[in-house]
Amino acid sequence: MSTETVSLIDVAGYLPETVVPADYFAQYADAEDITANIMFKAPKFRHHVAPGESPADMAERAVAPLLARQGRDILRDIDILIVHTQLPETAIVGNGGEVAARLGINPEWLIDLHNGGCAAFVHAMKLARQIMVSTDAKAALIVNVQNAAGQIFTQEQVRGKPQAAIPGDGAGAGLLVKNGDSPILDIETRHLPQFAGQMTVLADPPRKYWEAGPGQMHVGFTESKIAKVLGRGNKIVPEVAQAVCKRIGVPSSELDLLITNQPNRAFLRNWRDALQLPQERHPDTFDECGNLFGAGIPVTFDRAVDEGRVSAGSLVMLAGFAHAGDFAAAAAVRWGGR
């Protein structure tokens, strides 16, 4: 068994060209619905996938900056590819195989990660790191694709709902290797299976998501469910981050940067308050990109690095939760610089 340190040495993001303002959704929505709930306070902008743009297209575009910086030869070392796609186009098996084919790689470990949701990037980090420390695998590539906004939430029966204006599309990628350049210090993951399946998709009239029918699918939110999700999310993200902080011996207030998923402004504010961090140490992309689901963490981290907000040696906490609160994860990285 290898005892080598595993590092997250680079991250990258991709956003589709089409930028959609909040006014697009406001024209279809009930004015009262727009302001009724803090869960659905719309961002100013979001990006939507282009017609015909596939998850593999998005993955390839997200990985491209990594290859430009690290060199395409790094692909020879990729033994692990973990892909999370919010809306897989290839039924049953997901899009991981197509992503591998696009990149011209044949990894020993090829995983389509269907759970993990908005915290899937950290979930994948833990899986990749465990494989790497227990095998001879040299490097891992993680890809998160969020492609539901421009395909699900612009449907005629869905675009007027408050939830429709929140998501945006994009993809993120991370590269893990065995060295000490940008070490992953600790990772905490928590599954809460009692809440699994509570983030449902509905149609009117009711049907299974794979069955044909006139009703268009949307996320099934009720006032009671929204209140419960807000309560869980406000609690579990600080909990997993604090668990990591305790194990690495650093108070949360001393984190240099907090990168979370980007569900809404209320969560973002409550999380940094709970961890005693000022706003400048918790960058977000919500108003420019909306809720990028699983791609939110790598895209936001990549943006912060590009903007010069993450110097070499910074202690970075990546954290988030998924779905209705059935999973949460956090990871501490001593960033080695780009």
Model confidence pLDDT, tens digit, residues 161-206? 999 999 999 999 999 999 999 999 999 999 999 999 888 899 999 9
Query: What does 61-107 look like in DSSP terms, one character per residue?
Result: HHHHHHHHHH-GGGGGGEEEEEEEESS-SSTTT-SHHHHHHHHT---
**Cis? peptide before 205, omega within 30° of 0:** yes
| Residue-averaged pLDDT of the chain | 95
Torsion angle, CA of 288/291/293/294, rounded to 10 degrees? 30
116-134: average pLDDT = 97
Domain that holds residue 118: 6-180
275 part of a folded domain: yes
> How many distinct structural domains can be found in the chain?
2
Degrees (nearest 5) of the Cα angle 320, 182, 312? 95
Taking 80 as the threshold, does the pLDDT of residue 286 lie above it?
A: yes
208 part of a folded domain: no
Cα(318)–Cα(320) distance, integer angstroms: 7
Based on the fold, state whether residues 253 and 295 are members of the same structural domain: yes
Residue 62 in tokens = 């997200």
Taking 50 as the threshold, does the pLDDT of residue 308 lie above it?
A: yes
124 part of a folded domain: yes
Cα(294)–Cα(82) distance, integer angstroms: 13
71-97: average pLDDT = 95
Based on the fold, state whether residues 298 and 312 are members of the same structural domain: yes
Q: Which of 337, 318, 180, 320 is nearest to 245 (CA)?
A: 318
Taking 50 as the threshold, does the pLDDT of residue 2 lie above it?
A: no
How far from 235 is each of 263, 296, 325, CA to CA, in Å? Answer: 14, 19, 10
Based on the fold, state whether residues 12 and 136 are members of the same structural domain: yes
pLDDT at 33: 56
Cα(114)–Cα(116) distance, integer angstroms: 7
For β-strands 78-85 and 45-48, DSSP reports them as unpaired
How far from 264 is each of 8, 38, 173, 181, CA to CA, in Å? Answer: 27, 8, 22, 33
pLDDT at 63: 98
Taking 80 as the threshold, does the pLDDT of residue 298 lie above it?
A: yes
* Residue 164, helix vs strand vs coil: helix
Taking 70 as the threshold, does the pLDDT of residue 81 lie above it?
A: yes
Cα(125)–Cα(47) distance, integer angstroms: 26
Rounded to 5 degrees, what are φ and ψ at 119? -105, 20
Which helix or strand (DSSP H or E) is residue 188 part of? strand 184-191
Based on the fold, state whether residues 36 and 141 are members of the same structural domain: yes
Which helix or strand (DSSP H or E) is residue 305 part of? helix 296-306
Based on the fold, state whether residues 254 and 308 are members of the same structural domain: yes
Task: Kindly report the CATH number assigned to the domain that includes residue 326.
Answer: 3.40.47.10
Based on the fold, state whether residues 141 and 189 are members of the same structural domain: no
Based on the fold, state whether residues 240 and 308 are members of the same structural domain: yes
Based on the fold, state whether residues 49 and 166 are members of the same structural domain: yes
Taking 80 as the threshold, does the pLDDT of residue 39 lie above it?
A: no
pLDDT at 3: 58
pLDDT at 1: 36
pLDDT at 32: 60
Based on the fold, state whether residues 161 and 265 are members of the same structural domain: no
pLDDT at 224: 82
Based on the fold, state whether residues 189 and 145 are members of the same structural domain: no
Cα(193)–Cα(183) distance, integer angstroms: 30
Taking 70 as the threshold, does the pLDDT of residue 31 lie above it?
A: no
Based on the fold, state whether residues 157 and 26 are members of the same structural domain: yes
Based on the fold, state whether residues 158 and 24 are members of the same structural domain: yes
Last residue of a domain, which of 152, 180, 208? 180
Taking 90 as the threshold, does the pLDDT of residue 290 lie above it?
A: yes
209 part of a folded domain: no
How many of the other CB atoms lie within 10 Å of CB of 136? 10
What is Dmax (Cα atoms) for the chain? 60
115-127: average pLDDT = 97
How far from 74 is each of 105, 176, 218, 330, CA to CA, in Å? Answer: 10, 11, 40, 27
Rg (CA), the chain: 19
243 part of a folded domain: yes
Q: Which of 19, 17, 39, 27 is nearest to 199 (CA)?
A: 39
107-132: average pLDDT = 97
66 part of a folded domain: yes
Taking 50 as the threshold, does the pLDDT of residue 242 lie above it?
A: yes
Q: How many residues would you count in the chain?
A: 338
pLDDT at 166: 96
pLDDT at 37: 63
